[in-house]
């Protein structure tokens, strides 16, 4: 679910995976990192998720709606 949202808003902003990753500060592995998140192969840690939301100009809750059974952060997102 989080991966679908990241891809949706990345596409809306017109960023490639590499561009989004670089803007988030993920370095030379940016494309691989973003691709993995989009395929839900792992959840970004909370700080990375916050950075992705910031770069995509969306509230964190859009990427990981609360309550969200699939979101590993649960109540942390509400704070």
The per-residue pLDDT for 1 is: 79
pLDDT of residue 75: 46
Query: Quick one: pLDDT at residue 79?
Result: 44
Boundaries of domain holding 53? 2-78
- pLDDT tens for 19-74 read 999 999 999 999 999 999 999 887 888 899 999 999 999 998 888 765 555 555 55
Please give the structure tokens belonging to residue 79.
Answer: 């704070």
Place of tokens 């709606």: 65
Instruction: Please count the structural domains in the chain.
Output: 1
C-beta of residue 44 within 8 angstroms of C-beta of residue 53: no
Q: Which pLDDT band, with edges at 50, 70 and 90, does 8 fall under?
A: very high
Alpha helices, H only, the chain:
2-13, 17-24, 30-38, 46-56, 60-63
pLDDT for res 59: 92
Residue 57 sits in a domain whose CATH number is 1.10.260.40
């Amino acid at each position: 679910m989080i991966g679908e949202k990241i891809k949706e808003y990345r596409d809306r902003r017109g960023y490639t995976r590499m561009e989004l990753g670089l803007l988030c500060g993920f370095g030379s592995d940016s494309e691989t990192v973003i691709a993995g998140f989009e395929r839900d192969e792992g959840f970004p840690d909370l700080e990375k998720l916050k950075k992705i939301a910031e770069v995509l100009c969306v509230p964190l809750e859009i990427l990981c709606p609360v309550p969200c059974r699939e979101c590993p952060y649960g109540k942390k997102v509400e704070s």
